[in-house]
Amino acid sequence: MDLGIAGRKAIVCAASKGLGRACAMSLAREGVELVITARTPGPLEATAEEIRSATGVSVRVVASDITTDEGRAAVLAACPDPDILVNNAGGPPPGDFRDWRREHWMAAVEANMFTPIEMIRATVDGMMKRNFGRIVNITSSSVKAPIEILGLSNGARAGLHGFVAGLARKTVRHNVTINNLLPGPFETDRMRSNLEHMARAKGVSLEQAREARQRDNPSGRLGDPAEFGDACAFLCSAQMGFVTGQNFLMDGGAYPGTY
């Protein structure tokens, strides 16, 4: 299927590794020109080069912290009028809510709620004027099925979902959609550090924690980031203009509810 987005411009935030990287690669395969971001320049440039040589599209990099005003300004200066915006940032650390103080909560809200809202604020009016826009927020299955040790993530991301649910109905008339893509367990560096935390907490080896995580999932495996990237590209397609304000779970069937 031709997704009808060749030649479009996208900002993909936090994209040197993991799910952000996979989204960037899948969009590039559809002929989308990219600006990708991450804080660490080396891996960011290496990812950009891999995407360029795999797809031939233009990939520019902005090494900045997307959770800061300066970081967002640098990205928006490089691409002030994107057609596609993929919001992403590192997730908050796991832990026990008794240890979290104001600064921990504020950091989580800043990264996983305020940052995507600021990126949407800076880009959505231009998308509506141009009558095309696709915004995808990478959040977490923990919004639908909270994970106890990820309380900071459960809380901050739920705030973003609430905001998006309202705004997404205002933009779709102008062919601008806003949807959330909710990863369950995917094989990335972030997943590895969560498994290390679980292994320590349960007094088991990393491999045992990993096997348990796979066994607990109805699919019997962890997700492949490439699957996630392709779903993101599909959400950004021309064909998806009638779908907005939705929360798409990609969790191998782990969420047990009907709705």
Positions in the binding site for ligand NAP (CB under 6 A): 14-20, 37-40, 43, 65-67, 88-91, 138, 140, 183, 185-186, 188-191
d(C-alpha 153, C-alpha 181), whole Å? 14
Q: What is the DSSP string of 162-227?
A: HHHHHHHHHHGGGTEEEEEEEE-SBSSHHHHHHHHHHHHHHT--HHHHHHHHHHHSTTSSPBPHHH
Residue 137 or 244: the one with the smaller Cβ distance to ligand NAP is 137
Beta-strand runs (E) in the chain? 9-12, 33-38, 59-63, 84-87, 133-138, 176-183, 247-250
Q: From the CB of 89, what's the least distance to ligand NAP, in Å?
A: 5
Beta-strand runs (E) in 78-155? 84-87, 133-138
Q: From the CB of 246, what's the least distance to ligand NAP, in Å?
A: 17
Residue 138 or 167: the one with the smaller Cβ distance to ligand NAP is 138
Residue 113 or 172: the one with the smaller Cβ distance to ligand NAP is 113
Q: From the CB of 192, what's the least distance to ligand NAP, in Å?
A: 8
Residue 38 or 57: the one with the smaller Cβ distance to ligand NAP is 38
d(C-alpha 37, C-alpha 48), whole Å? 10
Q: From the CB of 46, what's the least distance to ligand NAP, in Å?
A: 11
Q: From the CB of 235, what's the least distance to ligand NAP, in Å?
A: 15
Question: Comparing C-alpha atoms, which of 236, 153, 157 is closest to residue 190?
Answer: 153
Residue 132 or 228: the one with the smaller Cβ distance to ligand NAP is 228
Q: From the CB of 153, what's the least distance to ligand NAP, in Å?
A: 6
Residue 128 or 254: the one with the smaller Cβ distance to ligand NAP is 254
Question: Comparing C-alpha atoms, which of 109, 83, 255 is closest to residue 182?
Answer: 255
CB-CB neighbours of 59 under 10 Å: 24
